[in-house]
Chain A
Amino acid sequence: MSLLAVDELRVRVATDDRPLQIVDGVSYAVDEGRIFGIAGESGSGKTVSVLALMGLLPRGASVTGTARFEGNDLVSMPSARLREVCGREIGLVFQDPLTSFHPMLSVGRQLTEHLRHHYGTSRTDARGRAVALLEEVRIPDPETALERYPHEFSGGMRQRIAIAGALMCEPRLLIADEPTTALDVTVQAGILRLIDRLRRDRSLSVILITHDLGVMSALADDLAIFYGGRIVEDGPAEELLAAPRHPYTRALLEALPHPETARGAPLHGIPGAPAQPGSLPSGCVFHPRCAYAIESCRTEVPELRRIGDRGLACPVDPFAP
């Protein structure tokens, strides 16, 4: 059984002039010990869809659908209970550890506080656990690190500390939102290896959110491609990236420079700009930018059809094998 099963999740956010549909009916499942990737460009709803599960959206956001975590629906759960479940069972890592840490509190205080809050662990035990975790994420001299402040560490080290913090309560699910986007490539590689190792050692489930399909290719087992608040394609990451079937996924991959493509070959940009909430096109949200769109794409919202273990929301399916 899946650790997390999200079904028909919809998120609507109230703004000054009108409500915006940010996430429009996404369904996916995260299995035990696997890395589930959510990929998409900015504004595709990938972050909001995950924050919605944890009740972390601003007031005025309405969330419908279900998200069964170990069988219990997070969406309909009372907020006190949700805080407890999320605090104990779900760890969160954000893009920029410099803004996700409190700058005035020591690393030790920040790593131990939620363990003490959620489990009433003693100060000494919590510190012992923090030291063990800092060792596990390869922070040199963990005892001293606890006394230091976030700004005293490099970006890569801070992200390692943030990951240690997310693991303090022994969560079953780790949500990592663009965990390497702010880092240099050589440092990024270290964090990718760390996440991969933790997943194996702890059979941790991970939701990895990133716009970087190279990062996805290194880590993700299963992958969903978000566009305009919907999933346009999903399936096993290796297959999906090697043989994308949705015109958007294919265009996105073709837009990337690849280390093995010839130099000087022009890159294939996708015409137009990504769909933004508030000005979503009718029918298939990708149709105005799609080279394969047919008449019905303008009017009919394509369903995510199951084809074996792949899902595809494109009636044209121009890249069918």
Chain B
Amino acid sequence: MSALEIRDLEVAYERRGRDPVRAVVDASLSLGRGEIVGLVGESGCGKSTLARAAVGLLRPTSGTIVFEGRELPPLDRGARPREAARLQMVFQNPYASLNPRRRVGHQIADALAILGLAGRDERPHRTRELLERVGLPAAAASRFPHEFSGGQRQRIAIARALAADPSVLVLDEPLSSLDASAQAQIANLLVDLSHNLGLGLLLISHDLGIVHQVADRVCVMYLGEIVEEGATDEVWARPLHPYTEALIHAIPHPDGRRFMPEALPGEVPDPARPPAGCRFHPRCPLAFDRCTDEHPTLERVVDARAAACWLASERAVTSPAGTAPRAAEG
């Protein structure tokens, strides 16, 4: 059974006097315990909206979130079931997500107290354990967030999430405000937590490189839709959706070989008025007549791989490695 399952999720932002923006359209994904699923896409693709809806911070327009076998109600004024606390979120910016005026230990102990996970006497001990679990000295408990670097703060934010004894963490761009050296440390910590605590991680990131390194499976989003899903290695080696391929070819290589990344022509369209047919067709180097009229849905192509592209099954057979999107001229 998967720990977290998102089924046919749609989130639309209502706007007065204008069409609603469908930020997430028909998205489904599942996440098992001990599994890391990367959700990648560029700004405005709806990945953060999906993350917030997944933990109940946003009310979906339709669709359901099933957590540990039960449907999860959106967060509102009423109390949430206690079990829902086992689904936790870590935010992008640890400078903003931690309270600057409270000692680190107290912030972590809050969850222990509120959820009744540790008695008053046990809390300091448990807090120290959590700090050590994320690679910080126990003495960090008595200090304030500003005394720590960005990477250390993100560790504190993760320790705070772990205090609720979660089975799933949803992490929204947890690495993107960090320097490269801290990024690597936190990425390694996430892998460690997932493997050794059996945590399911939904890792939302625009950085395909880091997702490739740590995620078992990857979902690629474009303009509100999941357009490709599969095991990370396979998606990386043989992207089925032309957008995934374009994303991979756009990543610079830091190896001194002067690789010039390829640009995708055009711009991400206004999500309030997505193109008809396939939402990617105006920018797709492989688009043909059908793509402009008919909307492809995410379909299983081979084994555990799915793509929302009319050419996916063809591309699965003939290696798409030779059909790289043509580079847009600067």
In the assembled complex, the Cα of A194 lies from the Cα of B259 at a distance in Å of 15
Q: What does the 1/0 interface line of B238-251 toward A look like (CB < 8 Å)?
A: 00000000111011
Q: What is the minimal beta-carbon distance from B38 to any residue of chain A, in angstroms?
A: 11
Asked whether, in the complex, the Cβ of A189 is within 8 Å of the Cβ of B179, the reply is no
Asked whether, in the complex, the Cβ of B263 is within 8 Å of the Cβ of A217, the reply is no
Asked whether, in the complex, the Cβ of B255 is within 8 Å of the Cβ of A187, the reply is no
The residue from B180, B248, B330 contacting A193, defined by CB atoms under 8 A apart: B330
Asked whether, in the complex, the Cβ of B267 is within 8 Å of the Cβ of A156, the reply is yes
B261 neighbours in A (Cβ, 8 Å): 185, 188-189, 192, 214, 218
Q: What is the minimal beta-carbon distance from B212 to any residue of chain A, in angstroms?
A: 6
Q: What does the 1/0 interface line of B195-234 toward A look like (CB < 8 Å)?
A: 0000000000011111011100000000000000000110
B121 neighbours in A (Cβ, 8 Å): none
Asked whether, in the complex, the Cβ of A189 is within 8 Å of the Cβ of B264, the reply is yes
Whether B327 is near chain A, meaning CB under 8 Å from some CB there, is yes
B264 neighbours in A (Cβ, 8 Å): 186-187, 189-190
Asked whether, in the complex, the Cβ of B181 is within 8 Å of the Cβ of A259, the reply is no
Q: What is the minimal beta-carbon distance from B325 to any residue of chain A, in angstroms?
A: 10
A216 neighbours in B (Cβ, 8 Å): 254
Known: A196-B330, A265-B213. A259 touches B251 (CB 8 A): yes
Asked whether, in the complex, the Cβ of B180 is within 8 Å of the Cβ of A255, the reply is yes
A196, A257, A258 pick with most chain B CB within 10 angstroms: A257
Asked whether, in the complex, the Cβ of A189 is within 8 Å of the Cβ of B263, the reply is yes
A42 neighbours in B (Cβ, 8 Å): 179
In the assembled complex, the Cα of A215 lies from the Cα of B19 at a distance in Å of 39
From B189, which residue of chain A is reached at the shortest CB distance?
A: A269
In the assembled complex, the Cα of A264 lies from the Cα of B211 at a distance in Å of 10
- Number of residues on chain B facing chain A (CB within 8 A): 52
Asked whether, in the complex, the Cβ of B42 is within 8 Å of the Cβ of A185, the reply is yes
Q: What does the 1/0 interface line of A170-189 toward B look like (CB < 8 Å)?
A: 00000000000000111111
Known: A261-B213, A266-B188, A269-B181. A185 touches B247 (CB 8 A): yes
CB proximity to B under 8 Å, residues A248-287 = 251-253, 255-261, 263-270, 273-274
From A242, which residue of chain B is reached at the shortest CB distance?
A: B256
The residue from A156, A187, A193, A238 contacting B260, defined by CB atoms under 8 A apart: A193
Asked whether, in the complex, the Cβ of B184 is within 8 Å of the Cβ of A255, the reply is yes
Asked whether, in the complex, the Cβ of A240 is within 8 Å of the Cβ of B253, the reply is no
Q: What does the 1/0 interface line of A144-170 toward B look like (CB < 8 Å)?
A: 000000000011110000000000000
Q: What is the minimal beta-carbon distance from A178 to any residue of chain B, in angstroms?
A: 13
Asked whether, in the complex, the Cβ of A238 is within 8 Å of the Cβ of B180, the reply is no
The residue from A189, A238, A261, A274 contacting B250, defined by CB atoms under 8 A apart: A189
From B206, which residue of chain A is reached at the shortest CB distance?
A: A184
Q: What does the 1/0 interface line of B133-176 toward A look like (CB < 8 Å)?
A: 00000000000000001111000000000000000000000000
Asked whether, in the complex, the Cβ of A242 is within 8 Å of the Cβ of B250, the reply is no
B252 neighbours in A (Cβ, 8 Å): 188-189, 192, 212, 214-215, 217-218
Asked whether, in the complex, the Cβ of B212 is within 8 Å of the Cβ of A257, the reply is yes
Q: What is the minimal beta-carbon distance from A37 to any residue of chain B, in angstroms?
A: 11
Whether A23 is near chain B, meaning CB under 8 Å from some CB there, is no
Whether B236 is near chain A, meaning CB under 8 Å from some CB there, is yes
A195 neighbours in B (Cβ, 8 Å): 330
Asked whether, in the complex, the Cβ of A213 is within 8 Å of the Cβ of B181, the reply is no
Asked whether, in the complex, the Cβ of A241 is within 8 Å of the Cβ of B267, the reply is no
Asked whether, in the complex, the Cβ of B330 is within 8 Å of the Cβ of A270, the reply is no
Q: What is the minimal beta-carbon distance from B28 to any residue of chain A, in angstroms?
A: 24
Asked whether, in the complex, the Cβ of B184 is within 8 Å of the Cβ of A256, the reply is yes
Whether A115 is near chain B, meaning CB under 8 Å from some CB there, is no
Asked whether, in the complex, the Cβ of B327 is within 8 Å of the Cβ of A193, the reply is yes
Whether B76 is near chain A, meaning CB under 8 Å from some CB there, is no
From B43, which residue of chain A is reached at the shortest CB distance?
A: A184
The residue from B42, B181, B187 contacting A41, defined by CB atoms under 8 A apart: B181
The residue from B186, B209, B259 contacting A256, defined by CB atoms under 8 A apart: B209
The residue from A154, A188, A213, A266 contacting B268, defined by CB atoms under 8 A apart: A154
Whether A237 is near chain B, meaning CB under 8 Å from some CB there, is yes
Whether B191 is near chain A, meaning CB under 8 Å from some CB there, is yes
The residue from B149, B213, B268 contacting A263, defined by CB atoms under 8 A apart: B213
B213 neighbours in A (Cβ, 8 Å): 257, 261, 263-265, 267
Whether A239 is near chain B, meaning CB under 8 Å from some CB there, is yes
6 further A-B contacts with Cβ under 8 Å, apart from A138-B330, A186-B42, A186-B246, are A189-B260, A193-B329, A193-B330, A196-B330, A218-B261, A238-B257
Listed by A's residue number, 9 A-B pairs whose Cβ atoms lie within 8 Å are A186-B264, A188-B250, A188-B261, A217-B259, A252-B181, A255-B180, A255-B184, A270-B181, A274-B149
Tell me the A residues contacting B by CB distance below 8 Å: 41-42, 138, 154-157, 184-197, 211-218, 237-243, 251-253, 255-261, 263-270, 273-274
